[in-house]
Amino acid sequence: MAVAAVKEKIAAQLKVLQKADGSVDPEELVAIVESIVDSVQGDLSADGLKVYADIEALALYINTARAEIADLRPDDINDEHIPAATDELTAIVGSTEQATNTIFEAVESIEGLTDKMPPEVAEQISLAVTSIFEACGFQDITGQRITKVVTALQKVEEKVDALLHAFGDDIKRSERPKEPEKKTTTPSGAPARPDEDLLNGPQMPEAAISQDDIDALFG
């Protein structure tokens, strides 16, 4: 059937539906769709059918890939992993800066005492102090390197965000409950680290409790 004829047939059948009182009988609608499909299939060549089958396979492949990506929970990357990594890296910079300043305070105090030392001792102390100052440059270098890593993480975050956007909102976490992470086990099936749930590493300053808080827990 020619394209124009198919269009004419669809228009006529839809017109029949429009004449109804606003409600649509599903069976009537299915019948119309089937008749259209039959009309089109009748016109498809062998090549056309092959293309149609390929497109169908491609659609199935995309849906499968989409489901697998959703199972990987890519939204966790942006919601949890990257922010956590960024916070940890920022905390590293803060800690090293604090430690470096403490070293400076101590070394400057030592240097201030060289006037009271015998000249030969003062000279040796001064050389050692210079070496410490030079070595403290690590804080600046590591800080810049970590900043580069944070920038790279932000780029990854943007890419993941674009991926999530491309696949639609329905692959996001809210659609499915989060599965618990698999724990490492020994060959007998016992937990390799029974205290795994407690291994959280150093806490961010705002999340950590103080020694005073700990002492208070011991009464």
Q: Is 57 exposed, middle or buried (0-12, 13-18, 19+ CB in 10 A)?
A: exposed
Q: Which of 68, 134, 181, 195 binds another protein (CB under 8 A)?
A: 134
Among 95, 124, 130, 154, binds another protein (CB under 8 A): 130
Give the residue, chosen from 5, 44, 49, 138, that forms a contact with another protein under the rule CB under 8 A: 138
Partners of residue 151 on adjacent β-strands: none
- Report, in Å, the least distance between residue 141 CB and another protein: 6
Q: Does 56 bind another protein (CB under 8 A)?
A: no
Rank residues 20 and 121 by Cβ distance to another protein and give the closer one.
Answer: 121
For another protein, which residue of 126, 161, 163, 172 counts as binding (CB under 8 A)?
126
52 binds another protein (CB under 8 A): no
Stretch that binds another protein, among 122-130, 169-177, 196-204, 207-215 (CB under 8 A): 122-130
Task: Give me the amino acid identity at 96.
Answer: T
164 and 172 Cβ atoms separated by less than 8 Å: yes
Tell me how far, at minimum, the Cβ of 136 lies from another protein, in Å.
6
What binding mask, one character per residue, do residues 98-117 give for another protein by CB under 8 A, x or -? --xx--x---x--x------
Q: Give the residue, chosen from 41, 64, 95, 144, that forms a contact with another protein under the rule CB under 8 A.
A: 144
Give Cα 59 distance to the centre of its chain: 26
d(CA 36, CA 42): 10
- Token pair of 96 as six digits: 């090293």
CB of 151 to another protein, least distance (A): 12
* SS3 assignment, position 13: helix
DSSP state of 46: H
- What span, in angstroms and rounded, lies between the C-alpha atoms of 98 and 67? 47
Q: Hey, what are 29's tokens? A: 């609608």
Identify which of residues 71 and 105 has a Cβ nearer to another protein in the complex: 105
Cβ at position 101, least distance to another protein in Å = 7
Instruction: Please give the radius of gyration of the chain, using alpha carbons only, rounded to the nearest integer.
Output: 34
The whole-angstrom separation of Cα 122 and Cα 102 is: 22
Binding stretches for another protein (CB under 8 A): 97, 100-101, 104, 108, 111, 126, 129-130, 133-134, 136-141, 143-144
